[in-house]
């Protein structure tokens, strides 16, 4: 079976600006795939390239094994859910959902039947006659989904559709989107800058930065095994410490840094003498212990949140690090101004190459 979407050396440039650089990717049928990255990283451009609104400057997009060159957005087997939903205000809910069928020339009775089923599927059975402006945010969301599903696309593209919703509703919609995807079984390509969304919903995630896909993997992989400093610091909280590698052995690297000698894993196989960054998650830092290293700093701020406590501390170089303690430590919390000894286990430290431009 052909891949749902294949990107083969896709480049998109606007004048001198490179929006997407050399994207290579295979997305499998039935996969819930997310592009995660900050705004301006090129993820929306990539989505619009897949849906056909932008032609790649170089490289090719294949959907279902077929090259999409020269095929406009209205003739691709994709459906896009827009960030602002772009529901048609002059049409009723049912007319919105049936629009794709109408322009395909599906006869009215067949269309009505299908729209009715879709309305039931998205729990809007009673709302077909209403105007879009009469609906709540969540209901509009479901109309947009039904409208896109009506044309039976092989790939559904979603451009941060939840960003306008209330927090509570957003969490509810994540579960609902995932459930819909499981039910209809088609490929979902989801775009977001919210790592929580990406991690909870996706089978796989592509993390993007400055037009480049930095890493592709499942949620655990991009969180626990980041391959680049950007991924390490963008997905989840992280502390990055600069230094130079002095020695490597047994998949570990020893780093000489201004705050001491630190040891961590070396997943990408860096060599001694290279400039590098050591990343350690706030929850991996321990007070007063750690074989990876031990260094000193001053507590600036202690935020007790019940199950966890976040401590912001400043080390000798002036850099700020975050330490997250579990709930059990509540009795012995440090005070702002206290001097702390902090350390971590070598398996929790991750040594990555310093990015060329960093």
Partner 1 sequence: MKAGWVQRLALAVYLALFFVYLLGPLAVMGVSAFNTPSYPQVWPFEGFTLEWFGKLLADQDMMYGLQMSLWIGVLVVLISVPIGLAGAIVMTQIPARARATYYLVVVSPVLTPGVIIGISTVVFWREFTTMSGLRFMYDGVVMTVLGQSSFISAYCMLIILARLQRFDRAQQEAALDLGASYPQVFRHILLPFLKPALFSAGVLAFLSSFENYNTTTFSILADKTLTTVLAGRVRQGTTPAISALAVIIVAVTVLGAIVYEVLKRRDDARQRARQRAASQAEEAELGGEPAAA
Partner 2 sequence: MSGGLPLIIGLPLVAAVLLVVLGALERRHSPAAGPGFFQRNGVAVGLYLALAVGFWAFFIIVLPQLAMVDMSFRPKLPPSQMGGPKDVFTLENYRYFLFGSTTSTASWNILHIKAFFLTIGVSILVTLLNFAISYPLAFHMAQSAPVARLRVLLLLLIIPYWVNEILRAFAFRVLLSSGGVVNKLLLGSGLTSEPIDFLAADVGLYMGLSYAYLLMMIFPLYNAIESLDKNQIEAARDLGAPWWHIHAFVVMPHAKPGIASGCTLVFMLCAGALAAPLVLGGPRTLWFTPIVYDRFYQAFNWPQGAAYALILLLTCIVFVLAVLRLFRLSLGEITR
Residue 243: strand, helix, or coil: strand
Among 1, 15, 185, 357, binds partner 2 (CB under 8 A): 15
| Site stretch for partner 2 (CB under 8 A), options 13-21, 245-253, 310-318, 345-353 | 13-21
The whole-angstrom separation of Cα 138 and Cα 84 is 12
Q: Is residue 340 within the footprint of partner 2 (CB under 8 A)?
A: no
Choose from partner 1, partner 2, none: what does 330 bind? Cβ within 5-8 Å by kind.
none
Among 55, 67, 110, 152, binds partner 2 (CB under 8 A): 55
279 φψ region: left (φ > 0), alpha (ψ -120 to 50), beta (else): beta
Which ranges of the chain would DSSP assign to H, the alpha helix?
43-51, 93-103, 108-121, 137-150, 167-184, 195-201, 219-224, 229-234
- Cβ proximity to partner 1: between 137 and 236 the closer is 137
Q: Is residue 88 within the footprint of partner 2 (CB under 8 A)?
A: no
- Cβ proximity to partner 1: between 137 and 240 the closer is 137
- Which residues make up the interface to partner 1 (CB under 8 A)? 51-53, 72-75, 78-80, 82-84, 86-90, 99-100, 103-104, 130-131, 133-139, 147-148, 151, 166, 168-169
Choose from partner 1, partner 2, none: what does 260 bind? Cβ within 5-8 Å by kind.
none
| Site stretch for partner 2 (CB under 8 A), options 49-57, 129-137, 237-245, 344-352 | 49-57
> CA–CA distance from 277 to each of 213, 215, 264, 319, 352 (Å)?
20, 17, 10, 14, 5
C-alpha torsion sign, points 85, 88, 92, 98? negative
317-318-319-321 Cα dihedral, nearest 10 degrees: 110
* Burial per residue of 200-220, b for 16 or more beta-carbon CB atoms within 10 angstroms, e otherwise: ebbbbbbbbbbbbbbbbbebe
Q: For the CB of residue 60, give the shortest distance to partner 2 in the complex, in Å.
A: 15
- Cβ proximity to partner 1: between 89 and 269 the closer is 89
Residues found near partner 2 in the complex (CB under 8 A): 12-15, 54-55, 57, 72
């Amino acid at each position: 079976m052909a891949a749902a979407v294949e990107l083969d050396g896709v480049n998109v440039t606007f004048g001198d600006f490179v929006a997407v650089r050399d994207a290579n990717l295979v997305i499998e049928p039935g996969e819930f795939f997310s592009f995660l990255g900050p705004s301006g990283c090129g993820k929306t451009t990539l989505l619009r390239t897949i849906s056909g609104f932008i032609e790649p400057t170089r490289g090719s997009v294949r959907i279902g094994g077929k090259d999409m060159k020269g095929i406009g957005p209205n003739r691709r087997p994709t459906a896009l859910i827009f960030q602002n939903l772009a529901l048609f205000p002059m049409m009723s809910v049912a007319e919105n959902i049936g629009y794709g069928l109408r322009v395909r020339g599906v006869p009215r009775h067949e269309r009505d039947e299908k729209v009715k089923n879709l309305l039931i599927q998205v729990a809007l059975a009673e709302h077909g006659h209403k105007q879009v402006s009469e609906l709540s945010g969540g209901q509009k969301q479901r109309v947009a989904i039904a409208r896109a599903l009506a044309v039976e696309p092989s790939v559904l593209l979603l451009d941060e559709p939840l960003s306008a919703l209330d927090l509570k509703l957003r969490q509810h919609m994540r579960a609902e989107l995932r459930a819909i995807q499981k039910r209809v079984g088609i490929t979902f390509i989801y775009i977001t800058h919210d790592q929580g969304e990406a991690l909870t919903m996706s089978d796989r995630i592509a993390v993007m930065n400055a037009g480049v896909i930095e890493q592709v993997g499942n949620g655990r992989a991009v969180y626990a095994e980041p391959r680049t400093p950007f991924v390490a610091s963008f997905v989840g909280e992280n502390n990055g410490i600069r230094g130079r590698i002095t020695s490597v052995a047994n998949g570990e690297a020893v780093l000489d840094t201004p705050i001491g000698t630190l040891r961590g894993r070396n997943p990408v196989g860096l060599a001694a003498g290279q400039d590098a960054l050591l990343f350690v998650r706030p929850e991996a830092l321990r007070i007063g212990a750690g074989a990876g290293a031990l260094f000193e700093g001053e507590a600036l701020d202690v935020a007790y949140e019940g199950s966890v406590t976040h401590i912001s501390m400043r080390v000798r170089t002036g850099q700020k690090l975050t330490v997250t303690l579990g709930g059990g430590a509540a009795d012995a919390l440090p005070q702002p101004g206290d001097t702390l000894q902090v350390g971590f286990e070598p398996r929790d430290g991750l040594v990555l190459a310093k990015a060329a431009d960093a």
